[in-house]
Amino acid sequence: RIAVVQPGVVEGPGSVARRFDRGEELTRSLAGRGVDLVVWGESSIGAGAWERPETARRLAELSRLVGADLLVNVDARQTDGSGRSGIFKSAVLVGPDGPTGDRYDKMRLVPFGEYVPARSLLGWATSVGKAAGEDRLRGDRQVVMTLPDGARGLRIGPLVCFETAFPDMSRRLVRDGAQVIVAQSATSTFQDSWAPAQHASL
Residues annotated as catalytic (active site), given as ranges: 42, 106, 161
SS3 string of the chain? CEEECCCCCCCCCCHHHHHHHHHHHHHHCCCCCCCCEEECCCCCEECCCCCCHHHHHHHHHHHHHHCCEEEEEEEEEEECCCCCEEEEEEEEEEECCEEEEEEEECCCCCECCCECCCHHHHHHHHHCCCCCCCCCCCCCCCCCEECCHHHCCCEEEEEEHHHHHCHHHHHHHHHCCCCEEEEECCCHHHCCCCHHHHHHHC
